Copies of this chain bind each other. A is one copy, B any other.
């Protein structure tokens, strides 16, 4: 059997009857240790060992744990289900909207809900961890948290959550919004207050096993990271570069949002340029720090993507405050907010469409990217910055935006007297871009597939709204998987394949990656390996999972 066995047997009349044997169930650590042992004993090959460990199970090994010493003195509230591994501390918030706001202010936060639903996704994304009072190991909170590699304690039945008054009650204890708790997703324990954490050790059998994984796999694994901290985390997990740095998260920073708003509220190009001039050095600093962290590995920076109204307040009080800050009347700000409002923001004035209207925004960003790269190169790090243009649908559109960027970069070269190599590429996420990939490749040095947006547009499913009806589709077996979780190989996947084929025909050396969330999901990774992408890019905690999934895909391919 060459694997650990669960054996059932009986002895009757001194005779041994083997009733049943099957591969034993085990924890990730056990599976990994057994696989490594079997290789060391010469019973199986490294390739076979690689197939023995479920990629998603690695998640159990990657997360921090609470410091043992501190834990002894911690005040335990109660216990729930250990739904998704890891340890997290933070202020409690009861609504997605509130937690997003708190996280934007830089707070460490825990999302607490009676149970979660798809409308809570945004809140889950920003949370350190998630706690629910109801639901089991396959509840929404548990499944989504595991998908995100995020700590979760679910179904803590002694806990009573009152979302309206913002309180958590457990027997005599009453905590309210903003109070700090700690949760352990590996044990299910819930504690009062903050507890120090220790990082996981990725050495020993894990290190050896992952070394075999890297020897076998041919698909690259990069990470999506917007901060040096995330970049560092991903490097520790074996990322080979950054496939996606989103620049909008930097715009949302509390200290910067006033300048961003100043830029948006500008009534002419001079004012806008003035505001952009203030943002530029901050962006340059962001990129510089990330480049330094990545030590010459590839870093793909995506230029501004969301619609501008996302940066403006919508309620009366905030508009009033902003108007005062900006020395404008309430009406002026209100009118701008109203003007920017959209019926379907997902399909609105965003991505490179912003740069068709306001080329100066992308010019500022291109300048920051190149200036930062020149600095780290001056410090002796060899690197080639990659500039990625989102939401392109046509070659001419890319051409227009690219020309603006190149003009600005050439100005930097003139001013500094330095010339460096850089790449300009595009996201392929609008279905039309996939259909036109042959032409678009004439202008793009790389493609990165944005399979989140492509799934939205190819299905016509708004991710923000589909939660309400998508479960009916999986319940009724119309779709086997939620297409936002595992790539829809027949529809969206066909578009990706077509774009790969046509892109390569035009430009055989084109770099091909994927930076949608599918980049961290094993089934999707196998698909991307098989259609010939160069790399996947995923969130830091998915990186080891992606490495193993990529290796498994390669082994399966070799076994064919």
Contact = CB atoms under 8 A, between A and B. Distances in A.
A453 interface: yes
Given A396-B478, A397-B478, A457-B431, A346 B343 contact: yes
Interface residues of A, number: 48
A476 interface: yes
A432 B456 contact: no
A533 to B, nearest CB: 19
A462 interface: yes
Contact of A346 (B344, B458, B491): B344
Contacts of A200: none
A477 interface: yes
A430 interface: yes
Interface string A463-494: 01110110011001111000000001011101
A348 B462 contact: yes
A356 B347 CA distance: 25
Interface in A298-316: none
A462 B347 contact: yes
Nearest to A453: B460
Contact of A490 (B344, B353, B435): B435
A466 B347 CA distance: 8
A338 to B, nearest CB: 11
Nearest to A480: B396
A458 B435 contact: yes
B344 A469 contact: no
Is chain A's interface secondary structure helix, strand, loop, or mixed overall?
helix
Nearest to A492: B432
Given A348-B465, A465-B349, A469-B357, A394 B479 contact: yes
Given A342-B465, A347-B465, A397-B478, A458 B457 contact: yes
Nearest to A341: B465
A74 interface: no
A458 B431 contact: yes
Interface in A323-369: 342-349, 353, 356-357
B457 A460 contact: yes
A468 B431 contact: no
A394 B478 contact: yes
Interface in A97-113: none
Contact of A356 (B429, B473, B492): B473
A32 interface: no
Given A343-B345, A347-B460, A400-B476, 4 more contacts: A345-B465, A394-B491, A397-B473, A430-B458
Interchain residue pairs A-B with the least CB separation, the first 5: A347-B462, A344-B462, A343-B464, A432-B491, A348-B465
